[in-house]
Every structure is written in C-alpha cells, then in structure tokens.
Amino acid sequence: MYEETIGLSIKCTGIATVLLKKIDNEYKVLLLKRATSVLRDVWCYIGGGIERGEKAWETSLREVKEETGITKVTLYTSNKFDQIYSPKENYIYLAPVFVGFVEENQVVTLNHEHSKYKWLSFKEAIETVSLPGNDEVLTFIEKHFVMRKPPTYLRVEV
C-alpha cells in the first residue's frame, strides 16, 4: 500500500459488525459494553483489527466468535463504513461494516473485552450507542437489511 507522507492519509485496518437476531418476530441488534481501557463503558457493536493475511470479512467472523462466542452467522457486507478522523496522527480511519444474521438458538458468551450485552430494538440501540455515526449506521442497516430483503450480491459466501 502506498502511503503519502505529506497531507492526509486514509487507513483501513479494522472492521465493524452489527449482529441481528429475530426475537419475538422482530429483529434485535446486539450491543456490547466495552470493558477495556479503550472506550471503557461505551455501548457499541462488534469491532476489531484486521490481522496480516486476513480479508475483512474473515476478520468480521473471527471477531464475532472471539467477542461473543457466536459461530453461525449469515454475513453480508453493508456497503457502509465507520469513519473516524484522528487529529493526533492526521489520518482518516475507515472500517467496512458487516451485517450478520444470527439464528435464534445462538447464545452470547462474552470475552474479556466486554462486561455486558443487550439485544435491543433498532430504536433502543440507536438511543444507546454513543459513538458519533453509530446511530447512522444502525438506521442504514435497518432500512436496507430489515425493512427490505438484503441483496444477495452483498452476501459473503463462506
């Protein structure tokens, strides 16, 4: 990857994944409460860094398994990105957002990175997330993956 040393650069070193589960005939969003020094006590969806040799979708599935113990996911790329500007390092961080549909019988088992989890309605999840932009991502996902059938060409074939 070519990186310009003068000016602003763009880095994509991580992913975000929003898990959806149908509970009582309504899709719910999984939010996790961070327990680590980075973003401690912040409610957010799944995120993580891409490891050497991994494709972004592989990172998504790995992070879902590591952070929640969930192993069976129907994964889609959302065509949406989390984005953050870092004034200290002067770069824009972009992370592709994936959408994972989870079967009802899948149980969440948190790792050390999180202290709590909740399955929330989209309205509740949008009111709960605190990182700027997370609410827009959730609104987008509700519109394109819940209110409409997800396009098959966005499905990640594992």
Q: Where are the domains of the chain?
A: 10-154
pLDDT at position 86, please? 84
pTM above 0.85, yes or no: yes
Q: What is the rounded (10 degree) CA torsion for 126, 48, 97, 157?
A: -130
For residue 37, the model assigns a pLDDT of 85
pLDDT at 125: 98
- pLDDT value of residue 76: 98
pLDDT number for residue 5 = 54
Contact 158, 83 (CB under 8 A): no
- Architecture of the structural domain at 10-154: Alpha-Beta Complex (3.90)
pLDDT, position 8? 80
Residues of the chain with pLDDT under 50: 1-2
pLDDT of residue 85: 87
